[in-house]
Chains A and B, each alone.
Chain A
Amino acid sequence: MSEFFQQLVNGVTWGSVYALIALGYTMVYGILRLINFAHGDVYMLGAFFAFFAARWLGVARSPTPAGALLVLLISMAGCGVVGYVIERFAYKPVRKSPRLSALITAIGVSLLLENGGILVFGPDPKFFPQVIPASNIPLGGGVTISNQQVIILLVSVALMLGLTFVVLHTRVGKAMRAVSHSHTAAALMGISVDRIITFTFVLGSTLAAAAGVLVALQNPKIEPLMGIMPGLKAFVAAVLGGIGNIPGAVVGGLVMGLAEVMVVAYLSPTYRDAIAFVLLIVILLVRPAGILGRYAAEKV
C-alpha cells in the first residue's frame, strides 16, 4: 500500500512540473491564440540563466534562501527580456498573418534557441547547483517527499491563484480578457492591444523561467534540448485542461503527471508516453474542449 501512496506523491509532484510549464503556455494562448512552441526553450533558458547567475553570485557554493530567491528573480528578468525580444522581432511581424504562419515562426524560434543553446552553452549536460539544499520529508509508512517537490507544488498553486487574480480582478487583466475576445473591439475601447500582448508575452516568459529554475532544482541536469519534451507534454496538459483556462492548466498538468506515473507503476513502463496520449485522446473525444474548457458555439 505504501508503494501506491508513494506513486501518488510521485504523480502529483511530477504533474505539478507540467502544471508549472503549462501555465505560461495557456496564458499566451488565451490572449494570442498562438501555440508558442518556443515556450519550452525559454524554460531551458531560464534554467541556464539561473545556472550562470548562481555561479556568478557564489550562491552555488554557499546556498542561502535569499540567494536562491535572487537567482530566481535574475533568471525571470532575463527571460522576460528574451520574451520581449522574441515577441518584438519574430511574432509581432506575423501577427496579422494566417495563424499557421505564426506557428511556423514559433517553431523557427524554438529551433533557433535550441541550436543557439548548443552553440553557446555546449551540448553536454550541466549540473544545476543546489541553491536550496534537498532534504527528505517522511510522510509516514515509508512514503517520502522532498522539500523541493513541495516547493514546486506550492509555487504552481500560488501562481495559478495569482494569475487568476490578475486576470479577473485587475485593470490589466480586464484588458487582457478584452483583447482575447476581440483585438478590434478592444482597440476601439481604447486598449493598447500591442502593449497588452507584449505584457502577456513577457509575463509568460517569466513564468517559463520560474518553471525552469524550479524543475532544474529538483532534477539538477540541464542541457540545451531539455525543453523539448516537457514543453510538448506541458502543451498537451494545457489542452487537456482546456487551453486558455488558467485553473485548467494546473488540472491538466496534474492529470497528465498522475496518468504517466500510474501507467509506469501498474500497466507498462515502456508504453508510458503512448498510454498518456491514448488517455488524452479519449478525454478529448468525450470533452472536446478539455476538462475545464468551455465549448464555444460556432458563430455563423
Chain B
Amino acid sequence: MRRAAWTAGTVALLLALDLVLPGTLNPYHMQILMLCGINVMLAVSLNLINGFTGQFSIGHAGFMAIGGYGSAMFSLHVGRGWVAALAAGGVPAPIAQGAALLTALALGGLLAAGAGYLVGLPSLRLRGDYLAIVTLGFGEIIRVVIQNVDAVGGARGLPGIPGWADFFWVGLGVAGVLAVSRNLAHSTHGRALFAIREDEVAAEALGVNITAYKVLAFVIGAFFAGVAGGLFAHYLSYLNPNSFTFIKSIEVIAMVVLGGLGSVSGSVLAAVILTLLPEVLRPVKEYRMVIYSLMIIVLMITRPQGLLGTRELSLRRLLGRFRPARETA
C-alpha cells in the first residue's frame, strides 16, 4: 500500500515538474539537469557493482553504449512505426511516444543486462585489478565493434534518433534506480552483497552464494546503465562511439568514489557536482579542465572516504530536526 502511494506520488510529482520546468528553466539549464539525471543513473548503478559488492568494474561506458545503441536501433526501425500506427488510431502523441520509448528503454536495459551477465562471469575467477582490466577490455571491445558496424552508423555516428526522452522519463529512470538501490540495501540480498564486499571468504563461509550475488550485482548495474544510455540517445537524438570511451567509464567511477563507495545519496550528490563543475568553470576557459582535475585531487586528499563515506543523507533525519519544533507550535 505504502509502496503504491510512493509510486503514484513520484509519478505525479514528475508529471507536474515536466509541465512546469520547460517554461521556467531555459533549455541550457534544462539540458544540464537532464545530463545530471543521466549521470546520476550511471553513478548509482555503478555503485551497486563497485560500492555495494566491492567488485572493480571500469566498463560502465560499454553497458551504456549497448543500451543506447540497442534502444536507438529499436526506435529507429520499430518504435517510430508504432508511434505512427498508434497516432493513426487516435492515441495522443505523448502516450504513443511514451509506450515506444518505454519498450526501447526496456530492450536497451535487457541487452545491457545480458552483457552484464557475461562480464560478471569472469568475476568468479578474477579479483581486483585483474577484473578491472577485463571490464575495461570489454568496454573497449564494445566501442570498437560499434565503430566498425555500418548498420549503426560506425564512426560517423547515428543521427536522427527520435527525441522522446523528456524530463519525466529521465526523472522516472532516476527514481527507478534509486528505489531499487534503496530497497536492495535494506533486503537480505543487499546484506549479502555487503558481506561479499567486506570479506568474501567469510561471506562464503556464512553460506552466501557469492557466485550468484556477484553476477546479480553486475546484471542489475548493467541494466540501469543500459537504460541511462537509452535515455541519453533519445534525449540528444545523436550517438557517436567516441562518447563511450574508457574515459567515460572513469568519469563514472570518479563520481562513485567521490560520493563515497556504497553510499547511494553520495553517488547522487557526486554525480550532480561533477556534472555541474565543468559548467560552472566555463568562464575560466582553457583553465577549466586543469582546475577540474585539481579539485578532484584536493577532494580526494581532504575526504578520501568520499563526501559521505558509506553513510546516507536521510530525508527523515533532516526533517527530524524540525519536527519537535512543529509539534510544540
Contact B140 A273 (CB under 8 A): yes
Instruction: Kindly state whether residue A193 has any CB partner on chain B within 8 Å.
Output: no
> Counting CB contacts under 8 A, is A103 at the interface?
yes
Contact with A along B126-162 (1 / 0, CB 8 A): 1101101110111011001101100000000000000
Q: Is there contact, CB below 8 Å, between B292 and A100?
A: no
> A residues within 8 A CB of B127?
288
Evaluate contact between A98 and B297: CB separation under 8 angstroms. Answer: no
Q: Which residues of B contact A271 (CB under 8 A)?
A: 144-145, 148
Pick the interface stretch among B29-37, B68-76, B223-231, B300-308.
B300-308
Task: Tell me how many residues of B have a C-beta within 8 Å of chain A.
Answer: 43
Q: Is the Cβ of B257 less than 8 Å from the Cβ of A284?
A: no
Stretch at the interface among A7-15, A141-149, A274-282: A274-282
CB distance from B237 to the nearest CB of A (A): 27
Give a binary string over A105-132; 1 marks a CB under 8 Å from any B CB, 0 the rest. 1011111100110110000000000000
Whether A236 is near chain B, meaning CB under 8 Å from some CB there, is yes
Asked if A278 and B305 make an inter-chain contact with CB atoms under 8 angstroms apart, the answer reads no
Stretch from B169-177, B186-194, B282-290 contacting the other chain: B282-290
- A232 to B286 alpha-carbon distance, docked (Å): 25
Judge whether A100 and B293 touch: CB under 8 Å.
no
Residue B258 at the chain A interface, CB threshold 8 Å: yes
Establish whether residues B144 and A111, one from each chain, have CB atoms under 8 Å apart when the complex forms: no
Minimal Cβ-Cβ distance residue in B for A107: B250
**What A residues does B294 contact at CB under 8 A?**
108, 112
In the bound complex, what is the Cα–Cα distance between A109 and B288 (angstroms)? 15
Q: Which residues of A contact B250 (CB under 8 A)?
A: 107
In the complex, A101→B298 CA distance in Å? Answer: 11
The answer, among A103, A110, A111, A281, for a CB contact under 8 Å with B137, is A281
B286 to A298, Cβ gap below 8 A? no
Q: A90-B297, A94-B304, A108-B296 are in contact. Are A281 and B258 (CB under 8 A)?
A: no
Give A113's nearest chain B residue, CB to CB.
B293
Check B122 for interface membership: any CB of A closer than 8 A: yes
Knowing A100-B257, A104-B253, say if A277 contacts B304 (CB, 8 Å).
no
Chain B proximity of A272: nearest CB distance (Å)? 8
Inter-subunit contact B290/A115 (CB<8 Å):
yes
- Proximity bits, A213-246, B CB within 8 Å = 1, else 0: 0000000000000000000100110010001000
A104-B254 contact given A232-B246, A239-B129, A273-B140, CB 8 Å threshold: yes
Q: What's the minimum C-beta distance from B250 to chain A, rounded to whole angstroms?
A: 6
Indicate if the CB atoms of A97 and B304 lie closer than 8 Å.
yes
Interface centre among A90, A98, A101, A236 (most CB of B within 10 A): A101
Which of A107, A110, A118, A298 meets B201, CB within 8 Å? A298
User: Do the beta carbons of A278 and B129 come within 8 Å of each other?
Assistant: no
Contact at A119–B140, with CB atoms within 8 Å? no
On chain B, the residues within 8 Å of A289 by CB distance are 130
Nearest-neighbour CB distance to chain A for B47, whole angstroms, equals: 12
In the bound complex, do residue B300 and residue A105 qualify as a contact, i.e. CB atoms below 8 Å apart? yes
* B302, closest chain A residue (CB): A93
Contact of A274 among B140, B253, B290 (CB under 8 A): B140
Q: Is A1 at the interface (CB under 8 A from chain B)?
A: no
Shortest C-beta distance, B295 to chain A (Å), equals 8
Shortest Cβ gap from A121 to chain B (Å): 13
Inter-subunit contact B290/A119 (CB<8 Å): yes
Shortest C-beta distance, B204 to chain A (Å), equals 10
Interface flags for A258-289 (1: CB within 8 Å of B; 0: not) read 00000000000011111001101100110011
Question: Taking the complex as formed, is B2 at the interface, i.e. its CB lies under 8 A from any CB of chain A?
Answer: no
Instruction: Tell yes or no: B125 within 8 A of A by CB.
Output: yes
Tell yes or no: A77 within 8 A of B by CB. no
Name the residue on A nearest B137 (C-beta): A277
In contact, A243 and B129 (Cβ under 8 angstroms): yes
Chain A residues whose C-beta falls within 8 Å of the C-beta of B306 in the assembled complex: 101
- By beta carbon, the residue of chain A nearest B132 is A35
Residues of A within 8 A of B296 (CB): 104-105, 107-108, 111
Is A300 engaged at the interface, CB distance under 8 Å to the other chain?
yes
Residue B216 interfacial (CB < 8 Å) = no
Q: Which one of B56, B200, B257, B287 contacts A104 once the chains associate, using CB atoms below 8 Å?
A: B257
Task: List residues of chain A with CB within 8 A of the CB of B56.
Answer: 100
In whole angstroms, how far apart are the Cα atoms of A52 and B235 in the complex? 46
Q: Does B239 contact A (CB under 8 A)?
A: no
Residues of A within 8 A of B253 (CB): 100, 103-104, 107
Q: How far is the CA of A111 from the CA of B300 in the complex (A)?
A: 14
The docked-state distance in angstroms from the alpha carbon of A136 to that of B109 is 54
Residues of A that sit less than 8 Å from B by CB: 29, 35, 90, 93-94, 96-98, 100-101, 103-105, 107-112, 115-116, 118-119, 232, 235-236, 239, 243, 270-274, 277-278, 280-281, 284-285, 288-290, 298, 300
21 examples of A-B residue contacts, CB within 8 angstroms? A29-B129, A35-B132, A94-B301, A97-B305, A98-B305, A104-B253, A104-B254, A104-B296, A107-B250, A107-B254, A108-B300, A109-B297, A112-B290, A112-B294, A272-B144, A273-B144, A277-B140, A278-B137, A284-B126, A285-B126, A288-B130
Closest CB pairs A-B (n = 5): A97-B304, A277-B137, A111-B293, A108-B296, A115-B289
With A97-B300, A104-B253, A232-B246 known, 20 other A-B pairs at CB within 8 A are A35-B129, A35-B132, A90-B297, A93-B301, A96-B304, A97-B304, A98-B261, A100-B50, A100-B253, A101-B257, A104-B300, A108-B300, A109-B293, A111-B296, A235-B133, A243-B129, A278-B141, A281-B137, A284-B134, A288-B127
